[in-house]
Structure formats: structure tokens, C-alpha cells
Amino acid sequence: MKIMFASDIHGSAYYCRKILEAFLAMGGERLVLLGDILYHGPRNDLPREYAPKEVAAMLNAYKNKIYSVRGNCDTEVDQMVLDFPILADYGLLSLEGKTFYATHGHIFNPEHLPPMQEGDILLYGHTHLFKAEKQMAEGIGEITLLNPGSTSIPKGGNPSTYGVLEEGRFRILTFEGDEVASLKI
């Protein structure tokens, strides 16, 4: 099973097209969006080809393949134009025998963990910085932290990225196909 993970589209029609092109090219079965889908937020510059209505139309065409969580820039108004649910603060996914706690990252994150058990995976966006690492969490044991980075407004000098889970490996890729991080989960 191939699953794609993307975060922080922020209304960029350009990067939404890139996400969907990559998703179709890889033969993805599910697309997990980690929030901040349509609005750029007051702290960010307008992303390339800012067109939230166009982004909504593109994503709605794949509504049966999308799982999503709410980002700090997502609101009920956004839900009115999207045909798939986006307002949950988190989602629990059971993938490849592992429990993924999917969230945007503004509420639950590596500094404020949700209820987790040893071996669980925190999957989040929000920081606009990609990450794929294991860490010891006090009182829990080893957990995995995965952040696919930002598709449209990367920070820290990073490129625009997304994540792919396939056969027990989480890979973070640029839209040019370069792997910038990889972790066996």
C-alpha cells in the first residue's frame, strides 16, 4: 500500500497540482493531508498561485482517497467548500501494523505529545520543516516523529516536500523526486 502525506498547501494551486501529479504517478491509494489546506494565514506570505477555490476543486475530485485533519488555518468556512472532512484535530491510523497519530502539530507535537504508547508514530505538519526520526519519550519509550514538511511554504532553507509510506519505510521527497530523508518505521 502506498500512502502519500502532505501538509501546509496554504491555498497554492501550483503545489496542489504538484501533489496530485505525484500522487497519481506513484499509484497512491490514500492521500493524508495534515492541515492548512486553503488559507495562507496572517504570518505567511501568499504562496505561489494562491487560489483556494481552485485547490478545493482539485482536491474534491479525490475526496474518496483523502484523509485530513484540521490545521490552525482551517475553519468551518473551509469545510463548506471541501467535500471531505477536515475539522478533526487528529486522526488515528493503523498502517502497516503501526499506530499513527496524525495531527497538524499546533496542538499536539513533539513538545506536547498526545496519548501514545511505545512504538507509536506522531505524524504532523505545522512547522514547515521535514523530520523523520525516532526518539525516546519520557514515560513512554521509543516513538517515531514524522513530518513531511511543507508543500508550498517550506522554512529553514528546505525545499517543498511531501511524504510517502510504502513497505515499512517513510520517505520524504521533493517534487523533483529527490529523497531528503528516509526512515524504516
Q: What are 20-68's pLDDT values in tens digits? A: 999 999 999 999 999 999 998 777 788 889 999 999 999 999 999 999 9
Listed by start position, the domains of the chain span 3-184
Q: How far apart are CA 168 and CA 97, in angstroms?
A: 9
CATH hierarchy code of domain 3-184: 3.60.21.10
Beta-ladder partners of 90 = 103
CA dihedral 8, 9, 15, 16 (to 10 degrees): 130
- From residue 158, give the alpha-carbon distance in Å to each of 132, 148, 151: 14, 11, 10
pLDDT for 139-170, tens place per residue? 999 999 999 999 999 999 999 999 999 999 99
pTM: 0.95
